[in-house]
Copies of this chain bind each other. A is one copy, B any other.
Amino acid sequence: MSGKNPGMDMTTLSALAEPNRMDIVELLRDGPLTVGEIADRLRLRQPQASKHLKVLSDNGILEVRAEANRRIYKLRPEPFQALDSWVKSFRRVMEDRFDNLEDYLRELQNKEQS
């Protein structure tokens, strides 16, 4: 074993960490949309829209449904569920209480081994 990052899927995060893709996700939150519609509303050129959509689908954030000429993209629930449970695992941090205690213990250790 090699101490790899356990919890969260990195690719999900890096996919979302790009303004246009984040915009796409935000846009798709109230329903599936066509490439053209997406490009329109976000003022993107079609090729860039397609590229970003590809990244998002490749990472499982979106899924496509072909409908004749059009391709309809929509959000997939899984990544968000994953993200949700990952963040929840930080409740100790979010609620604070923990550092005062730990800090104190560490202080002690340091002082006595010097």
- A-side interface residues toward B, CB under 8 Å? 3, 5-8, 10, 13-14, 16-19, 22-23, 26, 29-32, 42, 67, 72, 74-75, 77, 80-81, 83-84, 87-90, 92-96, 98-99, 102-103, 106, 110
Contact A84-B94, Cβ < 8 Å, known A8-B22, A67-B110, A102-B31: yes
Contact indicator B87/A32 (Cβ below 8 Å): no
Secondary structure type dominating chain A contacts: helix
Name the one of B7, B10, B26 contacting A6, with C-beta atoms under 8 angstroms. Answer: B26
Contact A77-B103, Cβ < 8 Å, known A6-B26, A14-B17, A22-B8: no
Contact A77-B106, Cβ < 8 Å, known A5-B26, A32-B99, A84-B88: no
